[in-house]
Amino acid sequence: MSNVRFTLRNPKSDSETPIFLVYRLKGAKLVYPIGVKVLPDHWKPETQRVRNVAAAKNKLSINTLLNDLENKVSSFVDSCIVDGLPLSKTSLKKFLDNYFAPVNEKEKSFFGFIDKLLESYEVKINPSTGRPITKGTIKSLKGTKAVLQLFEAAKYRLSFEAITLDFYYDFVAWCNTKNYATNNTGKHIKNIKTFMGEAIEQELTTNLAFRSKRFIVLKEEVDNIYLTIPELKKMYKLDLSGKPQHERARDLFLIGAFTGLRVSDFNDIKQQHIIKQLNGGYRLRIETQKTGHKVVIPLHPIVVEILDKYKGLPPQKMADQTINYKIKDVGEMAELTELENVSKSKGGLKVSKQVPKYQLIKTHTARRSFCTNAYLSGVPVIDIMAISTHKTESSFMRYIKVTKEQQADRMAAHPFFQDKAM
């Protein structure tokens, strides 16, 4: 007797309900929707087929599909047993996926697979967050695909089996010839590991070289800056009424600098996110786009004044890149010209130089400024992390830009160091 069974999702439904294929394996069960529906009254549980009644719609085509599916699945299982191939929920699901939507040879190729994967990511849910995969992640993966195509044109043809340790060393060396920053090369390696991990899951390859300890994601600490409260206030006091785009970029940036939100969030605040308190203050309640965390943030007076200027509404949204361009100009106008030492590895070589501080300001500077200034002002770390959504205190402390002297100053203000502790 066949182990393939067909059942209804809701046998007691008054309307059409989906038919599922059910196959029991040792210690597991696969329940697979086959994409057709039937009225429970027209279903015969004894035969697991549509009844031969005039009122039953598409009974012939549905029963033909069920017969074919039962035969095909039984043949697949028999061939796995005879050939000694692994039989699991994953392998059976892949067989059924291919039955209903056959994968063509192009999609099985390295770049064909990446194209199909990126297409699926447009609607796929990230299992770790339960939210759609972000546009930033998809953009990063597309960028890596483009770089891999350039590498293939310059070096050798890529395939799943070609992603070896030799590939890794060749790819890093090639990136260095392109003068890529170390973190940029590392980002591409991370994305390559993502591609290969997905290919393993879909059983398109058995090549595990990318999981080697030597197939490492390159990473180096970069010299990120933060803006102090006085520097932020210098920007705020600028009269930019004659430069409306600069003014809007400045105002959006300052909202980020006093809320700790990422640009994707402070650049997309809606009126319903702003909650007026009974005591007259304001709070911001928002679900962050990247992590899906719900945060509640008391609004700094500067943010309230900015909202008042726009009649209670947040400034109109602006492209991230435009904010990056304009906010550097604003920083220069605010005379944030102190020289900063910047070190970065490009092409495998460490390059150091001094640049004016305003040239280093970008959208993410706002979030880092919030975290650093809140910490130096004595806001408890656990409260800042509730807004910044850092998962550990150690990762938070690496994120903020605080010197040993500033830490000492912060501790010196504590009652313990003033002999006022209980």
Q: Alpha carbon of 67 to those of 135, 225, 334: distances in Å?
A: 43, 66, 76
> b/e string for 137-146 if b means 16 or more Cβ within 10 A?
ebebbeebbe
Enter the pTM of the model: 0.62
| Tens-digit pLDDT profile for residues 385-394 | 999 888 888 8
pLDDT at 260 over 70: yes
| Tens-digit pLDDT profile for residues 265-308 | 898 888 899 888 877 778 999 988 877 788 999 999 999 999 99
Mean pLDDT within 241-263: 95
d(CA 371, CA 396): 8
At residue 399 the predicted structure's pLDDT band, cuts being 50, 70 and 90, is: confident
At residue 130 the predicted structure's pLDDT band, cuts being 50, 70 and 90, is: low
Q: Which two tokens stand for residue 200?
A: 């393993």
Contact by Cβ (8 Å): 264, 290: yes
d(CA 106, CA 29): 32
| Tens-digit pLDDT profile for residues 155-195 | 989 999 999 999 999 999 999 999 999 999 999 999 999 99
Contact by Cβ (8 Å): 354, 341: yes
